[in-house]
Amino acid sequence: MSLFSKHQDTVEQAIKALHQRTFYSGFPEFPSPKIYGESADSDGRSWFQGAMGKKFEELMQSDPTAWVGEEESPYMQEPLNIQYPQCETDTLISRAVHAFSGWRKVSPEERAGVLIESLERIKDRFFEIAYATMHTTGQGFMMAFQASGPHAADRALEAIASGLEEQQRFPRKAHWEKPMGKYQIDMEKEWRVVPKGIGLVIGCSTFPTWNSVPGIYASLVTGNPVIVKPHPGAILPIAIFVAEIRKVLQEVGQDPNACQLAVDTFAMQRTLELAEHPQVKLIDFTGNSEFGSYLEKLPGKAVFTEKTGVNSVILDSVQDIDKVAQNLAFSVSLYSGQMCTAPQNIFIARSGIKMEEKTISITQFAEKFIGAINGLVDNPKAGPFVLGAVQNKKTCARIAEAEKLPGKLWLSSRSVENPMFKNARTATPVVLQVNPEQRELYSKELFGPIALLIETEDVDESIALAREQAERSGAISCGAYTVNEEIKEKIADQMALAGTPVSFNLVSGVYVNQHAGFSDFHVTGGNPAGNASFTNPEFVVKRFIMVGMREQVA
């Protein structure tokens, strides 16, 4: 039985979910022993501990020129000392070119089957990936498990389903007849899906799998070989994905070099060398806006970016201000604000926030907001695990600088002790109030747990400023609270023009940070925060072309 036949039901369910946009997940998102086995957690932790200080040899990438690795655990603040095989750029390219010749001739259906099989293998390693993610990114365990495991796999499956459907959109063959009076012209026509060439996926340090696998699987399902260039600070989680993909490719008789890992070091990074290589035709990038914008301008390449943005919250009217404050406190604290969807600018009209017959002033909201933050981070059963650890020391410096910005400092950042890791690098949120005229302060991303309260003339100015920031600096998310349907529609309309999705009136169980596979489009491609979207049709169709062949028949 072919792998496509084996996984056909999964493919059909995934394609159905793409169209319905209702809840669908191919992979259980809770690390339950009933699902993954009684010893899965301890086995995953033991595997990770055993991987430290050793060579990661699962990749089977032959003849490396060196073994390198500079990952450090933000929880232990100690090097992991895991070494990965490093190959020269020209070697990676030549191997990818060779693999391309065979992989592109595999049918889209069979490519989808191979790739879903790899996800099924990866599912058995979700706990290993979770601990690898924890100790490279600083995410709390639950987030690390969900985001790097099930949620990443769902995004990969979404890319496979979308890529397969788009390759099946048109018939492979057709008989064409054109009446010409006393005779007719007959032709046999055929259309071939032709992949564009080598894809390069450039990973980030905070979400090494979730942000990378959509591009990896979108390129592979459309017949393109992929070189994965992880951030030097977060290699292990995506290395496990690549290793499993390579194993399945080899098992089905394909060249495993259709998917390769390209590691480097902080001092000798080679992202630019790979990106500018003429054989690289596709680039997926997650990272800072300056480099992302440079990549977007490279000639002869299809580039898919997710860059930095400035996310806003508009507070107009609410049903329960305490629940709103708690929801936003969780959103700015989650993973210490190290998420591209985390809120930063909170706009509140000078007249205050309406709640039934009451009006909540910006001062009253600030007090409730910082109370909710402190209540969360000081809760020993929740705070350390929601905050996680700070991945990059530069983020700690940015937090310290934010406290010195001109404005009213409502809440300073501090460390919270993690009961499991005494040396964990932690930081609670900073809350600062600034004026709307201080655009230079809030018009750029302040990556980390930094929230700015901005008092505006009225809700119309709040909306206008949120739209302006999205159009100028980019935005990936927007939160809004209003019980007024007219204002709600105005916010939706104005932010839609700015290419920014809006989450209205979130109070429990769901947060503005979260985007769901098969339902939410992550990044729209409609503002400077990025030119691509997980996963709309453009995310896959730009990775191949349709080439027609025709022959006249008697």
Q: What is the pLDDT of residues 129-177, one digit of tens each?
A: 999 999 999 999 999 999 999 999 999 999 999 999 999 999 999 999 9
Maximum distance among all Cα pairs of the chain, rounded to whole angstroms: 89
Average the pLDDT over each of 29-33, 36-40, 262-266 and give the range with the smallest value. Answer: 29-33
Q: In which band, very low, low, confident or very high, does the pLDDT at 178 lie, cut at 50, 70 and 90?
A: very high
Report, in this order, helix, strand and coil percent for the chain, each rounded to 5: 40, 20, 40
Is the pLDDT at 1 greater than 80? The verdict is no
Domain 3-307+532-553: CATH architecture, name and number where available = 3-Layer(aba) Sandwich (3.40)
pLDDT at 86: 97
Distance CA 461, CA 443 (A): 15
Distance CA 296, CA 288 (A): 12
Distance CA 542, CA 532 (A): 11
Dihedral of alpha carbons 340, 344, 345, 348, sign: positive
Is the pLDDT at 102 greater than 80? The verdict is yes
Structure-token pair, residue 432: 């600062």
The residue among 159, 155, 162, 261 whose CA lies nearest residue 210 is 155
Please provide residue 43's backbone torsions phi and psi, each rounded to the nearest 5 degrees. Answer: -65, -40
Considering the chain, what percentage of its residues have pLDDT values greater than 70? 100
- Count of H helices and E strands in the chain? 21, 21
Is the pLDDT at 188 greater than 90? The verdict is yes
Structure-token pair, residue 369: 């907001």
Q: In which band, very low, low, confident or very high, does the pLDDT at 248 lie, cut at 50, 70 and 90?
A: very high
Please provide residue 199's backbone torsions phi and psi, each rounded to the nearest 5 degrees. Answer: -105, 140
Q: In which band, very low, low, confident or very high, does the pLDDT at 34 lie, cut at 50, 70 and 90?
A: confident
pLDDT at 33: 79
For the entire predicted model, the pTM comes to 0.96
The mean pLDDT value for 199-206 works out to 97
First-to-last C-alpha distance (Å) of the chain: 40
Q: In terms of C-beta density within 10 A (0-12 exposed, 13-18 middle, 19 or more buried), how is residue 554 classed?
A: exposed
Supply angle C-alpha 217, 220, 221, rounded to 5: 85
Angle between helices 126-137 and 141-148 (to 10 degrees): 120
The residue among 445, 507, 438 whose CA lies nearest residue 475 is 445
Structure-token pair, residue 80: 């992991």
- pLDDT tens digit sequence for 459-482: 999 999 999 999 999 999 999 999
Structure-token pair, residue 498: 């700015």
DSSP string, 387-455: H---S-HHHHHHHHHHTTSSSEEEE-------SS-TT----PPEEEEE-TT-HHHHSS---SSEEEEEE
The residue among 337, 341, 342 whose CA lies nearest residue 388 is 337
Domain 312-504 sits in which CATH superfamily?
Aldehyde Dehydrogenase; Chain A, domain 2 (3.40.309.10)
Mean pLDDT of the chain: 96
- pLDDT tens digit sequence for 85-97: 999 999 999 999 9
Contacts 24+ apart (CB under 8 A), 400-408: 402/430, 402/432, 402/446, 402/448, 402/450, 403/430, 403/432, 405/432, 405/434, 405/441, 406/434, 406/438, 406/441, 407/432, 407/433, 407/434, 407/435, 407/438, 407/441, 407/452, 408/432, 408/433, 408/434
Please provide the size of the chain in residues.
554
Q: In which band, very low, low, confident or very high, does the pLDDT at 32 lie, cut at 50, 70 and 90?
A: confident
CA distances from 264 to 72, 132, 189 (A): 15, 18, 47
Judged by phi (left if over 0) then psi (alpha if -120 to 50, else beta), residue 138 lies in: left
List every span in the chain annotated with CATH 3.40.309.10.
312-504
pLDDT at 22: 94
Distance CA 50, CA 75 (A): 17
The mean pLDDT value for 12-17 works out to 97
The mean pLDDT value for 56-66 works out to 96
pLDDT at 390: 96
Judged by phi (left if over 0) then psi (alpha if -120 to 50, else beta), residue 337 lies in: left
Dihedral of alpha carbons 369, 373, 375, 381, sign: positive
